[in-house]
Amino acid sequence: MLNGKKIIVVLPAYNAEKTLECTVEELDRQVVDEILLVDDSSRDQTVSLAREIGIRSFVHNKNYGYGRNQKTCYSEALKSGADVIVMLHPDYQYSPRLVPAMAAMIVSEEYDVVLGSRILGGKARKSGMPVYKYISNRILTLLENLLLGSKLSEFHTGYRAFSRKVLESLPMHHNSDDFLFDNQMLAQAIYFDFKVGEISCPTRYFEEASSINFRRSVVYGLGVLWTAVRFKLQKWGVSSFRIFEMSSPKPDVGYYSEVK
């Protein structure tokens, strides 16, 4: 706990058997009250290993995608009474040691959302980020800052912390079940005037670290631009889109179960 606030780390997992244990080992259990893992129907032994090392786990009845995985993560974290929820990939790409710092920024009430930025600090390329990913990250972030009226160093990090209020408020169940989910969540947070902060985060690029291929990156990039355009159109009152309407449908919980 931090200042009496319950901190839960959620791990959206898919074939994370090789990296799960080293990720969990670096979490500060004096700060982290609970770890929840959601497995998106992995082909390896991710769930068995998670249970073996004492992590409460949930499993999807089929592979739904990264976005749906996070929807399950956040729903279960809220049910478990989390005040601060930190989403960490179990592929060991992002440093688990930053969880206390990110959670503290939320607990301070100075921020509602905190991002672990790979760009702050200027070491993304030295850490192994592919050139095309770095360039596309910078271009998309520039365009999004212009359209959304923000000043973030990057929109595309997968390391994020949220206050309970944010996750209870945002209409995240209208968002994509795929990788675009992350970007839509951040656009929603900005649209509804939540305070977004950043912290510099070193990252690792290696064979076991999750990544999307070039084709899916292009699809993601187009989706990012369309999200930003919809944001602007709704701000102007030209059109209305449900991802920027505060009401959110009740999540479907029939597609996953807790592993006992």
Q: Quick: pLDDT tens for 48-70.
A: 999 999 999 999 999 999 999 99
Mean pLDDT of 169-183: 96
Determine the average pLDDT of the residues in 175-193: 97
CA 90 to chain centre: 12
pLDDT of 113 reads 98
CA separation, residue 258 to residues 137, 142, 153 (Å): 36, 41, 37
Predicted confidence at residue 131, as pLDDT, reads: 87
Structural domain boundaries in the chain: 7-245
Q: Which three-class secondary structure string do you get for the chain?
A: CECCECEEEEEEECCCCCCHHHHHHCCCCCCCCEEEEEECCCCCCHHHHHHHCCCEEEEECCCCCHHHHHHHHHHHHHHCCCCEEEECCCCCCECHHHHHHHHHHHHCCCCCEEEEECCCCCCCCCCCCCHHHHHHHHHHHHHHHHHHCCCCCCCCCCCEEEEHHHHHHCCHHHCCCCCHHHHHHHHHHHHCCCCEEEEECCECCCCCCCCCCHHHHHHHHHHHHHHHHHHHHHHHCCCCCHHHCCCCCCCCCCCEEECC
The residue ranking higher by pLDDT, 197 or 215, is: 197
Beta-carbon count within 10 A of 240 CB = 10
Highest mean pLDDT among 70-84, 116-130, 193-207: 70-84
State yes or no: pLDDT of 138 exceeds 80.
yes
Predicted local distance difference test score (pLDDT) of residue 203? 86
pLDDT band at 204 (very low <50, low <70, confident <90, very high): confident
Please provide the size of the chain in residues: 260
Cβ atoms of 77 and 71 closer than 8 Å: no
**How far is the C-alpha of 127 from the C-alpha of 203, rounded, in Å?**
6
Residue 81's pLDDT band (cuts 50, 70, 90)? very high
Look at residue 248 and tell me whether its pLDDT is greater than 70.
no
CATH among 3.30.110.70, 3.30.1330.10, 3.90.550.10, 1.10.3470.10 for 7-245: 3.90.550.10
Parallel/antiparallel/unpaired status of strands 113-117 and 84-87: unpaired
What is the pTM assigned to this prediction? Answer: 0.94
> Residue 246 — very low, low, confident or very high, per pLDDT cuts 50/70/90?
confident
Confidence of residue 211 (pLDDT cuts 50, 70, 90): low
Residue 208 above 70 pLDDT? Answer: no
> Exposed, middle or buried: residue 219 (CB in 10 Å: 0-12, 13-18, 19+)?
middle
* Spatial separation of the C-alpha atoms in residues 86 and 11, rounded to whole Å: 9
CA 129/CA 206 separation, integer angstroms: 10
Q: Which residue has the tokens 């090789």?
A: 18
251/184: higher pLDDT: 184
Whether the per-residue pLDDT at 247 is higher than 80: the answer is no
Decide if pLDDT at 107 tops 80: yes
- Residue 72 clears pLDDT 70, i.e. is over it: yes
Residue 220 φ then ψ, to 5°: -60, -45
Rounded to the nearest integer, the mean pLDDT of the chain is 94
